[in-house]
Structure 1
Amino acid sequence: MKNFIFQTVPVLHFGEGCLAQLPGQIAALRASRPMIVTDRGIVDAGLIAPVEQTLSEAGLEVVIFDSVVADPPESIVRQAIAAALAADIDIVIGLGGGSSLDTAKVVAALAVDGAQPLAEIYGVGALERKGLPTILIPTTSGTGSEVTAISILTTGETTKAGIVSPYLFADVALLDPALTLGLPADVTAATGIDAMVHAIESFTGRNAKNPVSDMLAIEALKLLTANIETACFDGRNMQAREAMLRGSMLAGQAFANSPVGAIHALAYPLGGIYHVPHGLSNALVMPYVMQFNLEAAAPLYAQLADALNIPRGNENSSEARAQQFIDYLESLAVKVKAPRRLREIGIKQDATTELAEAAMLQTRLLVNNPKELTLADAQRIYDAAW
C-alpha cells in the first residue's frame, strides 16, 4: 500500500442539541468576540436565532455578517473581511450551507494583520499561515465544508476557483441535525446527491485514494442512500436528518483527503455561468460522467454496489455490477424528484460548447478523475445530459 496522509478537524461535536456546546468551544479557543458569517436565507428562516440566543445567554456579543450569496464572489468575501477587521473580532463562526462555510473559512484566514492578498491564495497550498480560530455549523447535509480544507469562490463573471490549504480546517465543527429540519425537499435532494458524489469521487480518485477515505466514503453512501427519500418527504424526521448530516460529514472527510474529479469539474460551469446551485449541478451531470468513467472505474463502482447491497442481475461481471450501481443512483435521483436534464432548468442546447470549454479549466479536479477526459469528451457528456 502506498503512503498516505489523512487530515481532518481536531474537534467535532455531533448530535441533536450539541449547539449548546458553542459557548464552551469559543472559550476553549480563548476567544470572546465572535462574528457569524451567514446569509439572509438563514436569518429569515430563523436558524440564526438559536445561535444568537446561545451566545447571548453566555454573555457574548456577536457581530453578524449576513450578506453571503450562493457561489460567493470575491467582493462579498472582501466585505466580510472588512467587517471582521472593523469589529476587531477574534473568532469566526460559519453558519449555513457550503457558501457561508466556505466564506467563513476565507474570512478567518485573512481577517488578521499582515494577511496575504486574496488573489495570492488560490490553488493548492498557497495560503501561508493560520488565521483566526473558526467554528463551522452546517445547516444543510451536502457540502461537508465543515470538515474540509477547501473554499470555492467565484472569481469573475462566470469562473470559480478553489483555495486548498490545511490552514482552512476549522478548529471545531459543530453538527446539530435540528438545524436541518426545515430544509426544503428540493434542497434536501440536491445537497444529498452532492454528498453522494463526494463519496463516490473520493472512492474512485486517481491520485490520493486511501483506506481511511474509502471507509468513510462507503459508510457515507450507506447513510445517504438509505435516508434521502425519508429526509426529502418527511423533513421533520430527526433520525433521517441525523443520518443525512452524518453521511455528508463523513463524505466531506473522505473527499478532503481523496479529492473529487470530473463530476465536480463539469458541475462548476453550471454554477459559474448559469448560477445553478452546486448540489443540483452535481446531480445533473453525475450519471453521464459515471457512464464515461465506467471503463476505468467499473471494479470500484462494483465494490460500492456490493457495499450498498444493490440487487444483482443475471450477469456477474464488474461492468454489469457497476452499471447496476449507476442505474440505482439514477433511480434514487428520480425518486427524490431531482431534475435530470439540463433542458429542464432552462439551459439551451447550444450552451454545451461553452460549458465544455469552461470545464476543461478545472485541472485541479480533472487530474483526480479515474479516466482522462478531453474537451470532446466533456462536450459529449454535456450533450448527453441535455
Structure 2
Amino acid sequence: MLFVTDRGVRGLGLCDAALADMARAGLRVSVFDAVEADPARGTVEAAAELGRAAGVSGVVGFGGGSSMDVAKLAALLLGCDRPLDAAWGVGRARGPRLPLVLVPTTAGTGSEVTPLSIVTVENAEKRGVSSPLILPDLAVLDPVLTLGLPGPVTAATGIDAMVHAIEAHASANANNNPLSRMLAREALRLLGAHIRTAVARPGDIEARGAMLLGAMLAGQAFANAPVAAVHALAYPIGGRFHVPHGVSNALVLPHVLRFNALRVPEAYAAIAADAFAELPATADAQACAAAFIEALAALSRDLGLPQRLRDVGIPHDALDAMAADAMLQTRLLVNNPRPLEKADARAIYEAAW
C-alpha cells in the first residue's frame, strides 16, 4: 500500500493510528511524505515511482488537498501505462487505476469527493486532470483528525471551501443544476455558521465536524458545477509566490465577486443569507449581493487572513505577468458568470494589491 501524506501531518502524529492499524491488518505500507503545498509534477512522479518500486496494490491519500491530489494521480499512474502528459485536461485520463482511499485532515478542498487533481508544472503553471477515474473508492471523514489544525490554516481552508460553494452556485457551466446549487447552499450554511467557532475554539468537535461536512458538500457542488475566476486568479498567486491556496482565494475573492455582481447580482443575493444568517432580507438583488460581498471581506479580516497582495510579498510589478498567467486558466474562466478579459484580471489584481 502506498501511503501519501506530508511531513507536517506525519510530524503531528496524525498518521500514527492509521499506519498502526494497517500494520496490524498485515499490510505492507510504503510511506511517501514529501508532498508540499501546491505540489509539483515531480512530486507526483516521485510518489508513483516509490509505489512502483514497492509493487503496491493500492493508494491512501492522507492529509490536505495537496496530499490527496498527489495520491489521485499516483493511483492513476500506477494502474495504467500512460504518462501524466496524456491525462491533462477534462476527460483525457485512461485507466485502470489502483484502488484509492482518501482521508482529509483539513476542512477545505473537498478533494476527497472531486474528480480533480491540480499540480504545478513548468513556469509555475497550474495544470489539472479532471476525470471520474480519479474519484476515490472510499472517502473517510473524521473531524478528530482536524482538531490540531492551527487557527490560520483553519481560516484559510474554511474560506477555500466557501469559495468552492460560492463559485459552484454561480457557475456558468452547463452542468450547473438544482442539485449542485442545493449542495452549495447547504455547504455555505454549515461553513458560515461554524467557521468562526472552529478558528476561535479549535477543540470544538461539533464545529470541526460541521466544517468537514461543509467542505465535502462544497466539493460535491463544484465537482458538478466547476469553479471559475476566483480560482483562475488565485492560481498565479500560489504558483508564482507559493501562497497557500486558501489565502490566495481569499485575497481575490471580494474583488472578483464585485466584478461579477455588476452583471449577475442575483447569483450572490440568493446565497447571502445561507452564509450569513444575520444579513437582512431585501428584494434589491444588487444591494443584497453587495452586503454579501462585504460580509465575506469582513469575515476574512476577522479571521486574521492577509488582506492585500502586498501583505504576502507580491510586488506591484508582478501584476501584469499574473494577469497573463490567469488567462491561461481557460478551463476555469469559461465557467465565470461574467466574461473576463486580461485587462479585467489586471484591474482585479490592482484592486487587491
Q: Does 1:337 find its partner at 2:307? A: no
Distance in 2, Cα, partners of 1:289 & 1:213: 21
1:372 aligns to what?
339
Q: How many correspondences in the alignment?
A: 351
Shift of 1:72: 1.0
Give the C-alpha shift of residue 306 in structure 1. 3.4
Question: Does 2:280 correspond to 1:312?
Answer: yes
Contact 1:310–1:324 under 8 Å retained in 2? no
CA distance in 1, matches of 2:100, 2:198: 29
SS at match of 1:136: strand
Aligned residue identity for 2:147: L
What amino acid maps onto 1:217 in structure 2?
A
Aligned counterpart, 2:4:
37
Aligned equivalent of 2:206: 239
Query: What is the deviation of 1:60?
Result: 2.2
3-state DSSP of counterpart to 1:162: strand
**2: distance between equivalents of 1:97 and 1:355?**
25
Aligned-partner residue type, residue 280 of structure 1: V
The 5 Å alignment of 1:34-73 reads 34-73=1-40
1:131-187 per-position Cα deviation (integer Å, ceiling 9, x unaligned):
001000000010000000000011113111010001010000001110000001111
Query: Is the aligned partner of 1:225 residue 2:189?
Result: no
**Segment of structure 1 superposing worse, 140-149 or 150-159:** 150-159
Match of 1:111, SS? helix
| Structure 1: distance between partners of 2:348 and 2:272 | 23
Deviations, residues 64-104 of structure 1 (Å, cap 9, x unaligned): 11111111111111111111111111110000101100000
1:295 deviates by 1.9
Question: Does structure 1 retain, via aligned residues, the 8 Å contact 2:192–2:274?
Answer: no
Alignment of 1:159 onto 2:135: no
How far is the alpha carbon of 1:261 from its aligned partner? Answer: 0.2
**Equivalent residues in 2 for 1:177-188, closer than 5 Å:** 177-188=143-154
- Deviations along 1:184-209, one digit per CA (max 9) or x if unpaired, are 11111000000000000000000221
Cα distance, 1:373 vs structure 2: 0.1
Cα drift, residue 310 of structure 1? 3.6
Q: C-alpha displacement at 1:130, in angstroms? A: 3.1
Say if 2:87 is the partner of 1:121.
yes
Counterpart amino acid of residue 135 in structure 1: V
**Paired amino acid for 2:279:** P
Structure 2 gaps, min length 5: none
Match of 2:136 in 1: 170
Which ranges in structure 1 are unaligned for 5 or more consecutive residues? 1-33
Matched-pair contact (CA < 8 Å) for 1:310–1:325: no
Compute the TM-score of the two structures, normalised by the length of structure 2: 0.97
Asked whether 1:300 is paired with 2:300, we answer no
Tell me, yes or no, if the aligned pair for 2:75 and 2:100 is still in contact at 8 Å.
Answer: yes
- 3-state SS of paired residue (2:124): coil
User: What corresponds to 2:168 in structure 1?
Assistant: 202
Shift of 1:358: 0.5
| Residues 194 and 210, structure 2, Cα contact 8 Å, conserved in 1 | yes
- TM-align CA RMSD: 1.1
Are 1:75 and 2:42 counterparts? yes
Task: Indicate conservation of the 8 Å contact 1:130/1:168, yes or no.
Answer: no
Residue 110 of structure 1 is matched in structure 2 by 77
Residue 30 (structure 1) aligns with = none
User: What SS does the aligned partner of 1:140 have?
Assistant: coil
Quote how far apart the aligned CAs of 1:128 are.
1.6
Contact 1:92 1:132 in 2 (8 A): yes
User: Offset at 1:350?
Assistant: 1.6
Secondary structure at the aligned position of 1:329 is classed as helix
SS at 1:152 equivalent: strand
Report the counterpart of residue 191 of structure 1 in structure 2. Answer: 157
Q: Secondary structure at the match of 1:163?
A: strand
> Where does residue 149 of structure 1 map in the other structure?
115
SS at match of 2:109: coil
Question: Are the equivalent residues in 2 in contact too, given 1:224–1:247 (CA < 8 A)?
Answer: yes
**What are the superposed Cα offsets for residues 93-123 of structure 1, whole Å, 9 maximum, x if unpaired?**
00010110000000000113x5211111100
